[in-house]
Amino acid sequence: MVPNFRRFALPVLALAAPLPAFGQGFENLEMLDNRVAAALGANIGEPGGATTAIDRRLRLQACPQPVEVGEPIAGALAVRCTPLGWRIRVSIVPSAEGRQVATAAAVRQERAEAVVHRGDQIELVAIAAGFTVSTLATAEQDGAPGDRIRVRTERRSAPVIGQVLPDGRVALPGFNGL
């Protein structure tokens, strides 16, 4: 009878013991989804809410302080951990109220002022359904939201053309309808 006890006791004890290896050091993505829903005032999939849950395959290092949830801009919002330097963008379902859809008058007013200036270090992004890829680049021209400008990722690399977003990032064309 002792051999059977040992055979079953170890797996049972292993399951009952806390599992620090799982999840320790990683951000709780369900809690991030809840923070996003609270910031937007709408649940996932609802108008004005996130289009989908945050991808559960992400392994973000646990933030030592509460994560920051930015304002909705250009159909998405940023969730970031400033001390660790990670950031993810969450796509938003357009709402009937137009909370995150800029009005034509607001876009015209923003176009009047350049948000990117020559020599600025900017974030060059490729935005697709549910994710964003970004890198740092240098602007070679001034640009207002909606303008297409040249940027370089390295001094000796060929310039690429991107569209200036209202938040000062530059998006590559061909992604997400740009």
Residues 102-152 pLDDT 10s: 444 454 554 558 899 999 999 999 887 777 888 999 999 999 888 889 999
Residues 80 and 120 in one domain: no
User: Is residue 165 a part of any domain in this protein?
Assistant: yes
Residues 15-55 pLDDT 10s: 444 444 444 589 999 888 888 888 888 888 888 888 888 88
What is the tally of structural domains in the chain? 2
**Residue that terminates a domain, selected from 75, 101, 127:** 101
Q: Which residues are CB-contacts of 67 (< 8 A; sequence separation ≥ 6)? A: 27, 32, 35, 79, 80, 81
CB atoms within 10 A of CB 71: 10
Helix (H, G, I), strand (E, B) or coil at 115: coil
What's the pLDDT at 6?
A: 52
Residues 103-117 pLDDT 10s: 444 545 545 588 999
Q: Are 155 and 178 in contact (CB under 8 A)?
A: no
Rounded CA gap, 44 and 30, in Å?
Answer: 12
Q: Are 50 and 93 in contact (CB under 8 A)?
A: yes
Higher pLDDT, 52 or 100: 52
pTM of the model: 0.42
What's the pLDDT at 105?
A: 46
Residues 89 and 36 in one domain: yes
**Residue that terminates a domain, selected from 101, 121, 142:** 101
Measured over the CA atoms of residue 127, residue 132, residue 134 and residue 139, the dihedral's sign is: positive
Q: Are 36 and 93 in contact (CB under 8 A)?
A: no
Sheet of strand 76-81, all strands in order from the earlier edge strand to the far edge:
68-69, 76-81, 86-91
What's the pLDDT at 24?
A: 56
User: Is residue 9 a part of any domain in this protein?
Assistant: no
